[in-house]
Structure 1
Amino acid sequence: MMDVSLLRPFWLLLLPLLVVAALVLHRRRARLGDWEQVMDPQMLAALRMLGRVEEAGTGRRGLLALAAAALVAIALAGPAVERRDAASYRNLDGVVLVLDASLSATESEDWTELQTMGRFGVASLQSRPAALIVYGGDAYLATDMTADTRQLGLTLSLIGAETIPDPGSRPELGLTLAEQVLQDAQVLAGDVILISDGEGIGPAALSAAAKIAARGARLSVVTPQTSPSTETLARTGGGHLFIAGESEELAAFLGASGRERIEKQDYPLLFWADWGRYLLLPGLLLVLLLFSRRAA
């Protein structure tokens, strides 16, 4: 059985008012204009004999109008069911891992732990697609956005000191490329995970982090130990700071879908099929009945 939800429930506040109107109409026996109070009884009787007084018809028209209004109110409330194909929109909630493959990172004693956290995070993505960027003195797209996270995890485990030919550590290049990947994949509420030893973070990296946050994504940082630069970078990117060893925390963070953030950006119909429009058709038919006339 399908669960029905309301996208705009405040429209249902009109229903009690319509019920009150129906009760008032019924109490007054739905006599449009109260002709009994303003017309001579003999004249009214004569009009009834000639069939010029539609007492029952006016009552029916009033109820039809109220029923049509009730259907419109329910339609505007947006009764909806969850789309069966909602998973097809998962690319709107992707993850980009930006891995520091500079010599300062790959030759440090924390490199194995950083790789482990990266693979742990990839394994927790479930249906979320992901991409992998590696950087040193330059940045490269190792794996484009894909749902094959198992293969991505294998690729991540093969990154080493010989992977990047360019010396240096420029995280701003990796973050800029990550923002481009999100844009090309049309991701609305993604996550960028910078896995780094913290070297090279400066104003340029902070500027790239701000651009990522501005497009609705979050930048989080995985690093061996906290520092003012990594804390500032994560805060600027609107994400979290994870220390090496906090694998479960990172997995829980990445395992949570960005669906709530997507819905807050006025994209609820990506996940819900609004059936309200179909209620407008019977409401329109009721309105058309109001214009029907009995032949003279």
Structure 2
Amino acid sequence: MNLSELIFLRPWWLVIPPLLLVLGVVLRQSGNGGDWVRAIDPSLLRTLEKRSAFKRRGKGRPRFLIWSIVAAIIAVALAGPAIRNQASSSFRNLDGVIIALDTSKSMVDSGAVTEGQIAATQLIDNSAASQQVGFILFAGDAYLGSPFSADRQMLHPLLGGDLSNIVAEQGSAPARAMALAQTVFSDADMIGGDLVLVTDGGGVDPAAVEAARALRKAGRRVNILFVSSAQSDPNMPVPDKAGAVRLAAEGGGILTDTANLSPLLSALDLPLGQKLEKNGYTALAWLDLGRYMLILAAIPFLGLFGRRA
């Protein structure tokens, strides 16, 4: 149990204890007998007390104090004090990474696809052990290279081979790659997940932007690993970094290049508990201690069952 990460899931309940404190101070300042003490002759007041016709408020204060303590403990319990659930990092079917590699002609002819293969290999080898990894190849269409798997070694042959003619359809259609990634995520019942598009930004059109938005709405993130090499053929499309930036922004991810993989690795290595929390699965990420505090509230509550004098 790591109390250094203690948080309150419903902090608005914490306003109750200060209000109870203010109420206690107000009652204390009002005096034991209220306005009667100031308005009645002291000898007459003593006579009324002897005949039990008048009782000072002070005799009821211990019960009010007990009620206040019980209410304060319950309020804190309802605020949801919680610590991180250490078991959340072991859930293997809740978070995954899909690498989608652009094998279009512009990527192959410029040599950028080779650079992308090397960077993709580094990503899968350095991703968290709790994450499953899938692989997609795309150009004018998209194909599943490998479903989700925890075995990184099975992806090495795919990333180390010749990809120049592996996708027959010409062009670059990242929208198809993102649609396929959404299907893979859904079929695997993944709650969270990251898609990494390894691309030179080609083919970013309204359909691609809409696909990125759909992934973000489903709780995924679209990250861009931008690769760019010199174009030897002036007739080939030039890298579109502006389009890649827009795609990452619409997909809720980040954009980085092959020269600096650290930001992307850090984003992919974000603790699963934080990812689950962002997707609305707080109960899986945090252990709520409020229920145990209700047992603590029962201790002063027992004092209310004592025999009255």
TM-score, normalised to structure 2, is 0.75
Q: Distance in 2 between matches of 1:237 and 1:250?
A: 14
CA RMSD of aligned residues (A): 3.7
Following TM superposition, by how much is the alpha carbon of 1:134 offset from its aligned partner in structure 2, in angstroms? Answer: 1.6
User: Does the CA-based 8 Å contact 2:88-2:272 persist in structure 1?
Assistant: no
User: Does the CA-based 8 Å contact 2:84-2:273 persist in structure 1?
Assistant: no
1:235-266 alpha-carbon deviations (Å, 9 max, x no partner): 33233333343334433343334654542444
Report which stretch shifted further, 114-123 or 8-17: 8-17
Gaps of 5+ in 2: 229-238
Q: Does 1:2 align with 2:40?
A: no
User: Does the CA-based 8 Å contact 1:117-1:245 persist in structure 2?
Assistant: no
Q: State the match for 2:226 in structure 1.
A: 223
Gaps of 5+ in 1: none
Q: Distance in 1 between matches of 2:303 and 2:38?
A: 26
Q: State the match for 1:87 in structure 2.
A: 89
Task: From the superposition, tell whether residues 55 and 94 of structure 1 become closer, same or farther in structure 2 (CA, over 3 Å).
Answer: same
Task: From the superposition, tell whether residues 14 and 269 of structure 1 become closer, same or farther in structure 2 (CA, over 3 Å).
Answer: same
Task: From the superposition, tell whether residues 109 and 155 of structure 1 become closer, same or farther in structure 2 (CA, over 3 Å).
Answer: closer
How many residue pairs are counted as aligned between the two chains? 292
1:147 to 139, 145, 150: 150
Q: Does 1:254 align with 2:254?
A: no
Following TM superposition, by how much is the alpha carbon of 1:8 offset from its aligned partner in structure 2, in angstroms? Answer: 3.1
Task: From the superposition, tell whether residues 41 and 144 of structure 1 become closer, same or farther in structure 2 (CA, over 3 Å).
Answer: same
Q: Which amino acid aligns with 1:216?
A: G
Q: Does 1:203 align with 2:206?
A: yes
Q: State the match for 2:182 in structure 1.
A: 179
Task: From the superposition, tell whether residues 153 and 248 of structure 1 become closer, same or farther in structure 2 (CA, over 3 Å).
Answer: farther
SS at match of 2:127: coil
Q: Distance in 1 between matches of 2:76 and 2:286?
A: 16
Following TM superposition, by how much is the alpha carbon of 1:53 offset from its aligned partner in structure 2, in angstroms? Answer: 7.5
Q: Does 1:44 align with 2:43?
A: no
Q: State the match for 1:111 in structure 2.
A: 113
Report which stretch shifted further, 256-265 or 25-34: 25-34
Q: State the match for 1:64 in structure 2.
A: 66
Task: From the superposition, tell whether residues 131 and 57 of structure 1 become closer, same or farther in structure 2 (CA, over 3 Å).
Answer: farther
Q: Distance in 1 between matches of 2:294 and 2:267?
A: 42
SS at match of 2:259: coil
TM-score, normalised to structure 1, is 0.78
1:200-256 alpha-carbon deviations (Å, 9 max, x no partner): 443332222221122232222223334143333333323333334333443334333
Q: Does 1:245 align with 2:248?
A: no
Q: State the match for 1:233 in structure 2.
A: 247
Following TM superposition, by how much is the alpha carbon of 1:67 offset from its aligned partner in structure 2, in angstroms? Answer: 1.2
Task: From the superposition, tell whether residues 288 and 158 of structure 1 become closer, same or farther in structure 2 (CA, over 3 Å).
Answer: farther
2:297 to 283, 287, 294: 283
User: Does the CA-based 8 Å contact 2:89-2:273 persist in structure 1?
Assistant: no
User: Does the CA-based 8 Å contact 1:136-1:169 persist in structure 2?
Assistant: yes
Q: Which amino acid aligns with 2:145?
A: A
User: Does the CA-based 8 Å contact 2:125-2:152 persist in structure 1?
Assistant: yes
Q: Which amino acid aligns with 2:264?
A: L
Q: Distance in 1 between matches of 2:33 and 2:133?
A: 68
Q: Distance in 2 between matches of 1:294 and 1:54?
A: 19
User: Does the CA-based 8 Å contact 2:223-2:253 persist in structure 1?
Assistant: yes
Task: From the superposition, tell whether residues 94 and 32 of structure 1 become closer, same or farther in structure 2 (CA, over 3 Å).
Answer: farther
Report which stretch shifted further, 156-165 or 32-41: 32-41
User: Does the CA-based 8 Å contact 1:218-1:239 persist in structure 2?
Assistant: yes
Q: Distance in 2 between matches of 1:64 and 1:86?
A: 39
Q: Distance in 2 between matches of 1:133 and 1:76?
A: 46
